[in-house]
Amino acid sequence: MKKLIIVTLLTLMFAQVSAQLSNVILFTENGERFTAILNGVRQNNEPETNIKVTGLNAEFYKLKVIFESAANGEKNFNLAIELGNENTYVIKKNNKGEFVLRFMSSVPLAQAPASTPAQTVVAYHVNPVATPVETQTSQTISTTTTTTNGGTSDPNNMSMNMGVNVDGMGGSISINVSGMDEGMGSSTTTQSQTTTTTTTTVSGAHTPNHAPVPTHVPVVYLPGYSGKIGCPVPISSADFSDLKATISSKTFEETKFTIAKQVLNDRCMFVSQVKEIVMQFTFEQTRLDFAKYAYDRTYDVSNYFKVNDAFTFESSIEELNDYIDSRR
């Protein structure tokens, strides 16, 4: 009985985990457009720079990335998924110039933010997405015209009989004349007209279980913000809290700076978060160095002037402003 209970509990736990669904976000660091192939099935209809695939139910997938540019080719990766979470990966080039897949973050689906403005959202499916194909059909129509020229006609045949009596000798002559005079003829003219019809069909159509064609779903990461966006997906609140706590726990300024840079190598922040990290440093020069480093990794870059409040000297503000001008 005890073994039966254990087996039952394990079965229920496995069923619960298996029932969990997950999302994955794939985007390129430098905006290269690509098509995602999961377990051999193409997911997005057109090459995109940022794709969210929803409804994933396994922990591991084979991912093939086919870049729109032939110069970039294609790349194969092993994709790990944390069930019940939204997992974010960035496709970027390493120091050798090769494309690599780097994990960025994983948050529970209930806490996951809405999709980005330029993000393609598609439900995971095992059948290829439909591709419109144009076909042309040609149809030739012939018209025949008959024209009659010259002569006259009689609808009835005409016949003539004549009797002759010469020196007591009888005889007769019979003459038959057809109803059509000589010189009467006809001509035939044929006219052709070709009509071409273009028909759009769908190849690789989905079965009733297929996912809809990807649609762009607008999202606002910072309500009310309408300025320039410097990076695609800001760091989650939970991850930022962990980062801030880790930096605060360190004693040396250099160590704090190294940790902050490590996180921003693969992450993106709001201006308010950048300012909080800047305030973790004691020295003015360290604050300035980090503010410069974080500029290219900030979501709401049009709000970057708010970082100026973290500096003591106006010369630091001027130097930061000169740096920002050089990056535009």
Average pLDDT, the chain: 78
What confidence tens digit (pLDDT) does each residue in 19-40 have? 578 999 999 999 999 999 999 8
Q: What's the confidence (pLDDT) of residue 115?
A: 79
Q: What are the residue boundaries of the structural domains of the chain, listed by start?
A: 20-125, 237-327
Query: What token pair was written down for 269?
Result: 């922040």
Global pTM?
0.39
pLDDT at 6 over 60: no
Of 255 and 221, more confident: 255
Amino acid at 13: M
Query: Where does the pLDDT of residue 128 fall: very low under 50, low under 70, confident under 90, or very high at 90 and above?
Result: low
**What mean pLDDT comes out for the span 6-22?**
56
Question: Residue 36 pairs with which residues in a beta bridge?
Answer: 65
**What mean pLDDT comes out for the span 48-69?**
92
What confidence tens digit (pLDDT) does each residue in 172-215 have? 545 454 544 554 555 555 565 655 555 555 444 444 444 454 44
Name the CATH code of domain 20-125 (choices 3.40.50, 1.10.1740, 1.10.3470, 2.60.40). 2.60.40
pLDDT at 164 over 50: no
